[in-house]
Amino acid sequence: MVTHVEKLLQSLNLPYRILLLCGGDMGFASAMTYDFEVYSAAQQRWLEVSSVTNFETFQTYRMNCRYKDVNGKRQLPHSLNGSSLALPRIVASLLENNQTANTIELPEVLHKYFGAESIS
């Protein structure tokens, strides 16, 4: 999941960073969380655009979700949560980072969806 989100950000050619959160920054249910941030030149700070979390068995215990292992023993699966990309912040980052004097140049991956290479 981390690799998937990173590939999305790379394909958009945005300045990003990936943070492995420390225990104090995570929710009590999280075992491990990665936050993805893009840089906002207008705000001069990093903005979170995605998060990927391993909850281990916390959520599956509460859901009473089980599976049988190869020996037939019932086990709790681990659960993962992830958001793809926060659209408003991605759009703002695309506008900020691709601005020229007269246009906004779009990343190549968006040309076929937008129907143009730039916004005038």
Residue 104 vs residues 94, 98, 100: alpha-carbon distances, Å? 8, 5, 6
Domain ranges of the chain: 2-85
Contacts of 33 (CB under 8 A, 6+ apart): 20, 21, 25, 26, 27, 51, 52, 53, 54
CA–CA–CA angle 97, 100, 105 (5° rounding): 65
pLDDT at 30 over 90: no
pLDDT, one tens digit per residue, over 55-112 is 888 889 999 999 999 999 999 999 999 988 999 999 999 999 999 999 999 999 999 9
Name the average pLDDT for the chain.
92
pLDDT at 3 over 80: yes
**pLDDT higher for 32 or 38?**
38
C-beta of residue 37 within 8 angstroms of C-beta of residue 45: no
User: What predicted TM-score, i.e. pTM, was given to this entire model?
Assistant: 0.84
CA–CA–CA angle 89, 94, 98 (5° rounding): 150
Proportion of the chain above pLDDT 70, given as a percent = 100
pLDDT at 28 over 80: no
